[in-house]
């Protein structure tokens, strides 16, 4: 698989439920970020977790990072219809300098009212 692969590719849940998305990557990273993209729109930054962090919270979002497994998860609690979007993880490689983001294919999340 390529750097920044999310699973599942699609997820449909009921409003109020929690949604969990996973991301795997291959190379050493400086940080990992999660973005949201609504249909036809740009990417909205959600949360950044650095390589020396294991967990981070922002509102209803919780992100974990396991550098030994090269994986991350994004948990959205108490989902709302407005959370319907595609979610992408993106990594910045370690080593300094180059910081073009490498994105995964994303998880398309549908929240059913």
Partner 1 sequence: EPEVTQTPSHQVTQMGQEVILRCVPISNHLYFYWYRQILGQKVEFLVSFYNNEISEKSEIFDDQFSVERPDGSNFTLKIRSTKLEDSAMYFCASRGWEGTYQPQHFGDGTRLSIL
33 or 79, CB closer to partner 1? Answer: 33
- Cβ-based neighbours of 42, under 8 Å, separated by 6 or more: none
Least separation, in Å, of the C-beta of 113 and partner 1?
26
15 or 70, CB closer to partner 1? Answer: 70
CA distances from 79 to 15, 51, 83, 85 (A): 5, 27, 6, 12
Question: Which positions lie near partner 1, rule CB under 8 A?
Answer: 4, 30-31, 33, 35, 41-45, 48, 50, 88, 90, 92, 97-106
Least separation, in Å, of the C-beta of 14 and partner 1?
27
Tokens of 56: 């981070």
Over the Cα atoms of the chain, what is R_g?
A: 13
17 or 41, CB closer to partner 1? Answer: 41
């Amino acid at each position: 698989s390529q750097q920044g692969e999310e699973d599942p590719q699609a997820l449909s849940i009921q409003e109020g439920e929690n949604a969990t998305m996973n991301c795997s990557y291959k190379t050493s990273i400086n940080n990992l970020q999660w973005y949201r993209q609504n249909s036809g729109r740009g990417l909205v930054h959600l949360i950044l977790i650095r390589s020396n962090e294991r967990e981070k919270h922002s509102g209803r979002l919780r992100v974990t990072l396991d550098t030994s497994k090269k994986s991350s998860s994004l948990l959205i609690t108490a989902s709302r219809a407005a959370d319907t979007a595609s979610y992408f993880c993106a990594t910045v490689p370690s080593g300094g300098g180059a910081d073009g983001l490498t994105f995964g294919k994303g998880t398309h999340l549908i929240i059913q009212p």
